[in-house]
Chain A
Amino acid sequence: MNKLLDQIRENVTQTQVWKSIFRHGFPSNDANRALVMFSNVILHLHPVRVRRGALKIKFTWCLGGLTFFFFVMLAVTGVFLMFYYVPDTRRAYNDIKDLGTVIYFGSLFRNLHRWSAHAMVFSVWMHMTRVFLTGSYKPPREFNWVVGVILLVVTLVMSWTGYLLPWDQLALWAVTVGSKMAEATPLVGNAGPFGPELGMGVDNDVRFVLLGGTVVGQSALLRFYVLHCLGLPLVMALFMAVHFWRIRKDGFSGPL
């Protein structure tokens, strides 16, 4: 039996196809374990080696990694939701209701999407707190902290735009209150200090461009949908790339 298994493994792993894909042998020795990292675009996000101290769970609590994991989970479940959801005020609500009822696994994807969104926001805050408490933002890593803050803000805006899409009462009024805050922005808001003096009216201030109108309606839903599904994820991916690259270059600030 053993010989048979070896024979099969031999036939599979020595073929040209296999070798063209995997540039390394089974990672049973250090050379192959290093090669696994070298030859994989995702794995090589990590260095090939890392200090033993850096592996301690009670240092990073894996929070940055978890945040990224939630982001990937959100992206995947988000795409699934997009197969059924149409951002039209007349049918958005029913699409979400369909997802929850008639579509097989629909409620699973929606729940996963929602809970990983909440989890991502929470883990981003905890990650920021951990990075602060371990002083990992100190030179030379200040810029990476700034990129982190930008990612935090984009995560919050992502969550906020996603909150409107189900178009139920909670969504509509949470966004109405939020957009009224935008209207209260100083200088560029219609209701903000020195706004009217600068000619900011109901139809040309920052709230108007945020909602694409004077009321939270179809154009607001569409703008939020585009931002939520495309605009902001691109921005996030870009800044995440910078974030991961800086960690990769500046090395792990873990305990020496």
Chain B
Amino acid sequence: MSDRLGIGIFLTVGTLVIMGLFLGATIWLENSFKKDKQKK
């Protein structure tokens, strides 16, 4: 049973981490372009 649980946890955490990476990049880029617009 331990393997099954381990896979479940790994899957959930892994998906959230990768989603976080992509969302973080998008938000960071969104703000950095907003800053560029204000600066110009």
User: Which chain A residues have a beta carbon within 8 Å of chain B's beta carbons?
Assistant: 56, 58-59, 129, 133, 255
Complex alpha-carbon distance, A255 and B36, angstroms: 10
Q: Are A58 and B22 in contact (CB under 8 A)?
A: no
Task: Name the interface residues of B1-40: CB closer than 8 Å to any CB of A.
Answer: 22, 25-26, 29, 32-33, 36-37
Partner of A58, one of B26, B29, B37: B29
Contact A129 B32 (CB under 8 A): no
* List of B residues within 8 angstroms of A255 by Cβ: 33, 36-37
In the bound complex, what is the Cα–Cα distance between A56 and B32 (angstroms)?
12
Q: Complex Cα distance A58/B34, Å? A: 13
B33 touches A133 (CB 8 A): no
State how many angstroms separate the Cβ of B40 from the closest Cβ of chain A: 9
Report the minimal beta-carbon distance from A60 to chain B, rounded to whole angstroms: 11
Tell me how far the C-beta of B32 lies from the nearest C-beta in chain A, rounded to whole angstroms: 7
Q: A residues within 8 A CB of B32? A: 58
Q: Is the CB of A129 within 8 A of B29?
A: no
Chain A residues within an 8 Å CB radius of B22: 129, 133
In the complex formed, the residue of B with least CB distance to A134 is B29
Please name all residues of chain A whose beta carbon is closer than 8 Å to the beta carbon of B33 when the two chains form the complex: 59, 255
- Chain B residue contacts of A59, Cβ below 8 A: 33
Task: Name which residue of chain A comes closest to B33, CB basis.
Answer: A255
Within the complex, what minimum Cβ distance (angstroms) separates A97 from chain B? Answer: 38
Given A56-B36, A133-B25, A255-B33, 4 new contacts (CB under 8 A): A58-B29, A58-B32, A59-B33, A133-B26
Taking the closest CB of chain A, its distance from the CB of B37, in whole angstroms, is 8
B19 to chain A, nearest CB (A): 12
Q: Which of B25, B29, B32, B37 has the most CB of A within 10 A?
A: B29
Query: From B37, which residue of chain A is reached at the shortest CB distance?
Result: A255
> Which residue of chain A lies nearest to B25 when distances are taken between CB atoms in the complex?
A133
Q: From residue B13, how far is it (CB to closest CB) to chain A in Å?
A: 21
Contacts of A58 in B (CB 8 A): 29, 32
A58 to B29 Cα, complex, angstroms: 8
Report the Cα distance A56→B40, complex, angstroms. Answer: 14
A56 vs B37: C-alpha distance when bound (angstroms): 13
Chain B nearest CB, measured from A39 CB (Å): 34
Q: How far is the CB of B35 from chain A (nearest CB, A)?
A: 12
CB distance from A188 to the nearest CB of B (A): 33
What residues of A have a CB within 8 angstroms of the CB of B26 in the complex? 133
Give bound CA distance, A133 to B25, whole Å: 10
A59 to B25, CA, bound (A): 12
For this complex, 10 residue pairs linking A to B, each with C-beta atoms less than 8 Å apart, are A58-B29, A58-B32, A59-B33, A129-B22, A133-B22, A133-B25, A133-B29, A255-B33, A255-B36, A255-B37
